[in-house]
Amino acid sequence: MPPKTDVEALNKLIYQESAFLTTLSEATSKVIVGQEAMMDRLLIGLLTRGHILLEGLPGLAKTLAIKTLAQAVDAEFSRIQFTPDLLPADVLGTTIYNPAKAEFVVRKGPIFANFVLADEINRAPAKVQSALLEAMAERQVTIGSASFKLEEPFLVLATQNPIEQEGTYPLPEAQVDRFLLKVKLGYPTFEQERVIIRRNLDGEEIKVPTVLTTKALLQARAAVKKIYMDDRIEQYILQIIFATRQPEQYGMAQLSPLISFGASPRASIALAQASRAVAFLRRRGFVTPDDVKAVVHDVLRHRIGLSYEAEAEGYDQEQVIDQLLYTIEIP
């Protein structure tokens, strides 16, 4: 650990830089009931320049959540409904001929926004998915012979339905790996749904106040990078990742036949970045093991491949991750 005075100064800095979180939470809660975990994951994506894959049933406020966050952050929101007949040009844009000027001009697509909702991403064919992937990875779009940078902040929130498989195109592992987190959404509680009913019966449109500028958000990103991560926390993260690849070396030989492939180095980076962001959300200047455990399921559930044997025995990624956390010693 750094000297106590440095930790205190860092804690004070992070506490000041994260002051907007309270106001932001109050603003979004006027519209979003429950789903605090989902809102936290969206903020983690914003703070780390990462993209989020949401898996949940229809009606769980996925679209409403990102639209509300865009309004609170004073950012441009765009929604793309993915369908089997969608073309890359429908997402990125294209060149059209202007007869008055006798030249081709660029018409930008809906990807040119700060918050992009890719609704039901697994309904579009691979060519469209790869076009979106380039924009996510390179943060630029090529239309014709010209390249255009995407403005920061740039967050892609992709959704997919876990139960409807007809007419869908499963995302390739290489593409899924590009998402910082994969978040699974559940139903609201009894009391939360009561509030949802009452708000909708009232019919009053609630306006979300703008409480955060994009400039302030970029400052918050810079503050997240300053959060201290001890070597022991770094070691803990690496042990978790390497245990997905070589479980027998970490006393979990029973997992070897269940895992077809482990997490990539991109997972190590994602877990470290997300853990720092969790510390920021908790208004602290250093990372703890609890911060790592808070996001490890979201970071790894889409990065661990299960064997046919695991599927036959009813294992899923959640159980594998639970076993990793139970076995690996906490620093």
Distance, CA of 10 to CA of 284 (rounded, Å): 8
Give the model confidence (pLDDT) of 76-103 as tens digits. Answer: 888 888 888 888 888 888 878 778 777 7
The mean pLDDT of the chain is: 85
pLDDT tens per residue, range 233-274? 999 999 999 999 999 988 888 888 889 888 989 999 999 999
- The predicted pLDDT at position 164 comes to 58
User: How many CB atoms are closer than 10 A to CB 22?
Assistant: 11
What's the whole-number mean pLDDT along residues 111-123?
87
pLDDT at 212: 84
As a CATH number, domain 228-327 is 1.10.8.80
Q: Between 331 and 286, name the one with better pLDDT.
A: 286
Which residues, in sequence order, are CB contacts of 79 under 8 Å at separation 6+?
63, 67, 110, 116, 117, 119
- Flag whether pLDDT at 166 surpasses 70: no
Tell me how far apart the alpha carbons of residues 95 and 102 are, in angstroms, rounded to a whole number: 13
CB 320 within 8 A of CB 228: no
Domain residue extents for the chain: 4-218, 228-327
Alpha-carbon span 261 to 215, nearest angstrom: 40
Kindly compute the dihedral angle of the four CA atoms of residues 314, 320, 325, 329, in this order, to the nearest 10 degrees.
120
Q: Which of 37, 25, 270, 45 is nearest to 155 (CA)?
A: 45
Phi, psi of 280 (to 5 degrees): -65, -45
Distance (Å) of CA 103 to CA 95, 106, 148, 189: 10, 10, 19, 57
pLDDT attached to residue 66: 80
Q: What does the pLDDT read at residue 291?
A: 95
Nearest in space to 238 (alpha carbons), one of 265, 277, 260, 257: 265
4-218: in CATH 3.20.20.300: no
Can you give the pLDDT at residue 4?
Answer: 58
Confidence of residue 3 (pLDDT cuts 50, 70, 90): low
pLDDT given for residue 242 in this prediction: 95
Q: Please, which pLDDT band fits residue 27 given cuts at 50, 70 and 90? A: confident
Handedness of CA 192, 194, 197, 202 (dihedral sign): negative
> What is the rounded CA–CA span in Å between residue 259 and residue 306?
5
Which one has a higher pLDDT value, 311 or 51?
Answer: 51
pLDDT digits (tens, 9 = 90+) for 266-304: 999 999 999 999 999 999 999 999 999 999 999 999 999
Average pLDDT (129-157) is 84
Q: Rounded to 5 degrees, what are φ and ψ at 163?
A: -110, -20
- Beta carbons of 33 and 195 less than 8 angstroms apart: yes
Look at residue 169 and tell me whether its pLDDT is greater than 70: no
Can you tell me the distance from the alpha carbon of 131 to that of 191, in angstroms, rounded to the nearest whole number? 42
Burial track 44-80 (b if 16+ CB lie within 10 A, e otherwise): bbbbbebbbbbbbeeebbbbebbbbbbbbbbbebbeb
pLDDT at residue 167 tops 70: no
Q: Please state, for a pLDDT cut of 90, what percent of the chain lies above it.
A: 25
